[in-house]
Structure 1
Amino acid sequence: MRIGINVLRPSPAPAPGGQERTLAAVSYPVPCDQCGRVVHVALSALRAPSFRDLAEQIACPEIQARRSKRDGLLMMMCGALKQSLAERCDRAEVEATAPVRGEAGRVVCNIPGVSTARLTPQEARSLAVMWQAHGQTKLAARLRDAAASAERRPLVRTGIAAGLVLLLLATAGSWLLLTRQPTQSPPGPPQTADAPVASPDLATAEPPQRAAMLQAVANAAAPATLQDVASTPAADEAPAGKLPGVAAAEAVPAPPTTQDSEASRTRLPDVVMIPGGSFAMGGMEAAELPVHRVTIKPFALGKYPVTIGEWRECVADKACADVTSGPDDNPVSNVSYEDAKDYLAWLSRTVGKPFRLPTEAEWEYAARAGASTKYWWGDQMRAGMVNCYGCNEAGAPPQLMKVGHFPANPFGLFDMGGSVDQWVADSWHKTYRGAPSDGSAWFDEQSFIRVIRSGSWKKDASYARSGSRDRYDGRIRYPTHGFRVALSL
């Protein structure tokens, strides 16, 4: 029985500028030859194939055995499922179809028992990149060859048609030369070069970005705000949460660019300008020592954690896995570090700027907002400040709340403590010994363990401290894990 027909589909609408959209992530229902279950596998060029759903991962017999023995970390995909997928990929059938109405042909990729996909040549190449990254070199090569074949077929017909048109034009030209009577043109004044055309004074024109920035501030349009934060020079003296140069845009409004118009139709995160500075990073717990001085450059940070509504834009564009549910203004949760990277890659393509996760130092600097106390308001937890377990009404059940429900810190950031655990870019290190002092991310290429900050609605007040830090396997989804976006300036 064939399962998951048309798991991959062409995009419903062309991307801006007429370019085809590329595949950032796909999902396959794969039959496991060992346990007999059909398990959904997420595939991306940025990470190894993995369980798409946490419940299916937990139910895997091999995963359960490893957990019961405390035998190392959980795996992205159990050995039996990995073998089942590899065997089916070896038997995959790939062919190019004939063009329709002058358009390029399509590539049909049939992985037995897994999926049958009808792809554009560009989508086939994108899928080839994914399979190549995970060792399926034969399947990747067949996809690339089929993509090239699908593009060549309409070009041959177009070349023949163009040759016939040129032949007809040459014949008509020869006939005109034979039948036309020669005529003499009266002498005229010597030809002069065309007069230069006056051009507008660009030096006095306002850039379109400033008009888009004004529109973003006036209408709280996050997409334009994201683009203009990236193109506006940063200054340490700029007040937190304000965008320099907004007033200048009021004089000469400019029409939005095509990219602005496209982004304005997409729900994207709002960001806040964070001024540069230095601070004492760390706390009293063993993992927070030694306390050390760190200098932070100006950067932009998400005003809120990424919301479910914003995540669904990425899901609708087939670039993110559909792993969460709930109201649009709740923070997205149940996302792995790798899921967050998928969203950031999609956001960067959509806006045209290199979005990323904040570094651990940037996150703590922004959470403290100039304070050296445990929380940005002081050393004692206060009711009505953050969403954490036991931090508000006595006996109230822990529950996830919409973003912005509690007050913002002095930098204008919401939920920098509690709400959802937030992935940051750094690999986990047991202490700060040897940590960089310039605010950059601290990576360990041999480890999948990543730092999470903020605590969550299920954790107590100690996790909501500005200096508190924790860790988790970046390949694994967990119900309290979310993130927020960052951008270098």
Structure 2
Amino acid sequence: MTGIDVLRQTRAPASDEDAPSVVTVTHSVPCERCGRIVRVALNALRPPSFHDVDEQIACPEIQERRSKGAGGLLLMMCRPLQQSLDARCDAAKVETTAPDGGEAARIVCSIPGVSTAHYSPEEARSRAEIWQAHGHVRLASGLRAAAALAEREPLVRPRTAAGLVALVLAAAGGWFVLTRQPPAAPPLLPAAQPPAVETSEAFARLASVEIPPRTVALQDASSDAATPSRSAEAAQNEAPERQVSPAGAATAAGDPPAVGSNAAPGPTEESKIHLPDIVMIPGGTFAMGGAESSELPVHRVTIKPFALGKYPVTVGEWKACVADKACADVTTGPDDNPVTNVSYDDTRDYLAWLSRVVGKPFRLPTEAEWEYAARGGATAKFWWGDQMRPGMANCNGCNDTGEPVRLMKVGSFQANPFGLFDMGGCVDQWVADIWHKNYQGAPSDGSAWTDEQSFVHVIRSGAWKNDASYVRSGSRDRYDARVRYPTHGFRVALSL
């Protein structure tokens, strides 16, 4: 999952030649299921995956997936390995080492049972982007804070020494004033001076002062009562509360402030707002469509990399727009519920406000992007297979609990292989496309299909009131863009 503060620093390259290389790191992770030490590859543009094909083939869970024909999931890690990595990242510690010779301090990142690595500030920030993209916001914030601290250390040490020197000299001067005796000789004779040995010893003690390493406290993923309270699994991936200054610059909570005499004061409590978490979705080609008449013909579509909301926009996130008088107050329910009863036109108000606050052109996902992201690399009806399974989605009759169907907080069910929650069930989700009765003539480049003038737009996902057929990745429906309806919500998207 990538925080919006990271995206503020990212601009799309002008050409392929200008595109930055994607940093991939490898970690050895013990698997909780089979006990093997497995190498895992991570970068900011795709979910963690097996590094070696041989280790992938030997994985018991991967073998089970292959036996069920779920080959589209083979690039992802198995669930026990993912859980092992998540648990160890939650226990990670980050600290800085003392600077040497005026150079920047180094950052030490210790992940229990995985690695202990030393980074420069630039390397630490690069690793922070990777960890943030995969939902480890606490670890990412710690690395950024340590990088900023390390860059300040060479300045802090001389200033600290200078301050101690000043204190020693002031103490020596005070000692001189207090101990000076009235002259017994003529007034022109100098007064007694403090013994030079004491001052020399003081400077010797000063020279021996060392600045100890500092441990950077990692930010707690939990937040105050106004922040959505998600499931235990989702809480591991919770993004920190963002603070937005009057100029619109978003920073992660806990990141150190800018250093300098002209630095603007930090935002007040009133300026804190909730911004959606987003996930980097890698590009690819997939077969779009299904068996219903509106889902035909099945056709190949190529998707460019983009970012998509990790969850549907929540009540708490919508309230920030309402407070800024940019959105209508349609909210009901707890802050961690998805916002509902929003029209397509309402979503445009929120996206315009979010774009202004963050400084990035947020939008709705296209219908092709939404389906590609919902499938998570799978070709089955659902990302987990062809049959509905209890505990996978919030929809009518899908969980066999015997409880009345109801809207639940975002992230109450398992994420798909792209790290997205509620891509099926929960709430209907607006997309950018105008409704067409089938895919005859649909674009193949993943762009929005808006070649007609119509008030009817596509909605995806199905809602908690719908049955499992609406939750299928290929299922589609439509509604009047001007009309609000109690099951309709949305999630944000961003081109990269």
- Taking structure 2 as the reference length, the TM-score comes to 0.51
Q: Residue 8 of structure 2 aligns to which amino acid in structure 1?
A: Q
Q: Residue 316 of structure 1 aligns to which amino acid in structure 2?
A: A
* Alignment of 1:245 onto 2:120: no
Q: 1:425 aligns to what? A: 432
Q: 2:372 aligns to what? A: 365
The 3-state SS of whatever aligns with 1:280 is strand
The 3-state SS of whatever aligns with 1:403 is coil
| Structure 2 residue corresponding to 1:396, chosen from 392, 395, 403 | 403
Give per-residue Cα distances to partners, 1:401-447, cap 9 Å, x unaligned. 00000000000000000000000000000000000000000004421
* Alignment of 1:227 onto 2:234: no
Measured in 1, the distance between the counterparts of 2:250 and 2:447 equals 34
* Alignment of 1:260 onto 2:237: no
Q: Residue 240 of structure 1 aligns to which amino acid in structure 2?
A: R
Measured in 2, the distance between the counterparts of 1:230 and 1:475 equals 33
Offset at residue 247 of structure 1 (A): 4.4
* Alignment of 1:312 onto 2:193: no
Q: 1:382 aligns to what? A: 389
Q: Residue 5 of structure 2 aligns to which amino acid in structure 1?
A: A
Measured in 2, the distance between the counterparts of 1:419 and 1:316 equals 25
Report 1:130-141 matches (<5 A): none
Are residues 244 and 293 of structure 1, via their aligned partners in 2, closer, same or farther at CA, if it must alter by over 3 Å?
farther
Q: 2:337 aligns to what? A: 330
Are residues 429 and 384 of structure 1, via their aligned partners in 2, closer, same or farther at CA, if it must alter by over 3 Å?
same
Measured in 2, the distance between the counterparts of 1:263 and 1:333 equals 27
Are residues 311 and 226 of structure 1, via their aligned partners in 2, closer, same or farther at CA, if it must alter by over 3 Å?
farther
Identity %: 69
Are residues 424 and 438 of structure 1, via their aligned partners in 2, closer, same or farther at CA, if it must alter by over 3 Å?
same
Q: Residue 345 of structure 1 aligns to which amino acid in structure 2?
A: A
Offset at residue 312 of structure 1 (A): 0.2
The number of aligned residues is 270
Offset at residue 291 of structure 1 (A): 0.2
Q: Is the 8 A contact 1:356 1:485 kept in 2?
A: yes
Measured in 2, the distance between the counterparts of 1:429 and 1:231 equals 31
Gap regions ≥5 residues in structure 2 = 14-18, 23-42, 49-123, 130-142, 153-242, 254-271
The 3-state SS of whatever aligns with 1:245 is helix
Q: Residue 434 of structure 1 aligns to which amino acid in structure 2?
A: G
Are residues 263 and 427 of structure 1, via their aligned partners in 2, closer, same or farther at CA, if it must alter by over 3 Å?
farther
Measured in 1, the distance between the counterparts of 2:376 and 2:465 equals 24
Are residues 244 and 455 of structure 1, via their aligned partners in 2, closer, same or farther at CA, if it must alter by over 3 Å?
farther
Q: 2:467 aligns to what? A: 460
Measured in 1, the distance between the counterparts of 2:407 and 2:286 equals 31
Offset at residue 324 of structure 1 (A): 1.9
* Alignment of 1:410 onto 2:216: no
Q: Is the 8 A contact 1:234 1:298 kept in 2?
A: no
Q: Is the 8 A contact 1:283 1:467 kept in 2?
A: yes
| Structure 1 residue corresponding to 2:351, chosen from 334, 338, 344 | 344
The 3-state SS of whatever aligns with 2:249 is helix
Measured in 1, the distance between the counterparts of 2:252 and 2:347 equals 20
Q: Residue 455 of structure 2 aligns to which amino acid in structure 1?
A: F
Measured in 2, the distance between the counterparts of 1:261 and 1:462 equals 40
Measured in 2, the distance between the counterparts of 1:457 and 1:234 equals 42
Q: CA RMSD in A?
A: 2.7
Q: Residue 126 of structure 2 aligns to which amino acid in structure 1?
A: G
Q: Residue 224 of structure 1 aligns to which amino acid in structure 2?
A: D
Are residues 444 and 309 of structure 1, via their aligned partners in 2, closer, same or farther at CA, if it must alter by over 3 Å?
same
The 3-state SS of whatever aligns with 2:470 is helix
Offset at residue 245 of structure 1 (A): 2.7
Q: 2:155 aligns to what? A: none
Gap regions ≥5 residues in structure 1 = 1-215
Q: Is the 8 A contact 2:250 2:358 kept in 1?
A: no
Are residues 235 and 369 of structure 1, via their aligned partners in 2, closer, same or farther at CA, if it must alter by over 3 Å?
farther
Are residues 340 and 234 of structure 1, via their aligned partners in 2, closer, same or farther at CA, if it must alter by over 3 Å?
farther
Measured in 1, the distance between the counterparts of 2:397 and 2:46 equals 31
Are residues 458 and 229 of structure 1, via their aligned partners in 2, closer, same or farther at CA, if it must alter by over 3 Å?
farther
Give per-residue Cα distances to partners, 1:235-273, cap 9 Å, x unaligned. 787443589933487574289986435886221000000
Offset at residue 323 of structure 1 (A): 1.0
